[in-house]
Amino acid sequence: MKTQLFVPLVTHPDANADGLAGQVAAIAAGMDAGIHALAINVSIPNVSTALSKLLLNTPDLIRQAEAESRRRGEHLLDLLRENAHKAAAEFDAQTIAVALPLLAETAAQQARYYDFSLVGLDAGNQTARATAEAVVFGSGRPALLVPETTKPSAFDNIAIAWDGSRVAARALADARPFLERASAVSVITVVDEKPLKNAGDEERLAAALRQRGVNATASTVKAQGRPIAEALQQEALQRGCQLLVMGGYGHSRLRDFVLGGATEGVLNNLVMPVLLSH
């Protein structure tokens, strides 16, 4: 059964960068996956008053915003189609228009029908940030977060952030298609960020992976005051890893959704591809 990769494209108010197309095609080719891209355009209800029509010309502004959203969505789909063809990856596309408050939730709902989601995420793109969070915690599927401006590369060397938790184990299981293709895997445990139940868990996981034929090694790292997401990504990059696998922490508190420190750090400052699984 062929792996299916879902790519939600944000178009308003912040749109994905053009560089995402090359990333998607390279990753899909490396996974031998099909690509399903969804351009999520904005639909803005006209709630203008007579005064707003007179002073701001609100209907025209709405039409301009919707037209720009559609234009950007079509442009991104064209780029993806072109790059998928070059990579010999199966590709299909869809366009949908939804109200602004429903953009992220729509992406999460659509992602439930595919094996993985790939979300392009760059600093300052709050639309992509909200979409990534919704997909990670609302889709029930693993999400691959990719900085849009980095060069595409094969995931030949992979890092696993390991603390022995349920979400870390979930991420490990979801990462299996990547681990099976990797030539090297590094299990990384941060030892000075929170109490760990069992010392040496990173070596235990590495040994279990080696029994399955994975070339895995284990190491510990100290955050030394750095944000946990920064420490993990820096350690992974220093080891030459192209992908970091980690569990996504989050829970509801009253009406707010509270993210774990590492998860929030990755969403706020993504410097390498990260597979997040909740």
163 and 142 share a domain? Answer: no
Residue 253 has pLDDT above 50, yes or no: no
Total domains in the chain come to: 2
Q: Both ends of the chain: CA-CA distance in Å?
A: 23
Domain of residue 261: give its range. Answer: 157-277
pTM, 2 dp: 0.90
What CATH number is associated with residue 162? 3.40.50.620
Residue 53 has pLDDT above 80, yes or no: no
Residue 256 has a pLDDT of 52
Residue 224's identity, in one-letter code, is Q
What CATH number is associated with residue 50? 3.40.50.12370
pLDDT tens for 2-50 read: 999 999 999 999 999 999 999 999 999 999 999 999 999 999 886 655 4
13 and 83 share a domain? Answer: yes
21 and 134 share a domain? Answer: yes
> Considering the domain boundaries, does residue 151 fall inside one?
no
> Considering the domain boundaries, does residue 152 fall inside one?
no
Q: How confident is the model at residue 132 (pLDDT cuts 50, 70, 90)?
A: very high
Residue 258 has pLDDT above 60, yes or no: no
219 and 85 share a domain? Answer: no
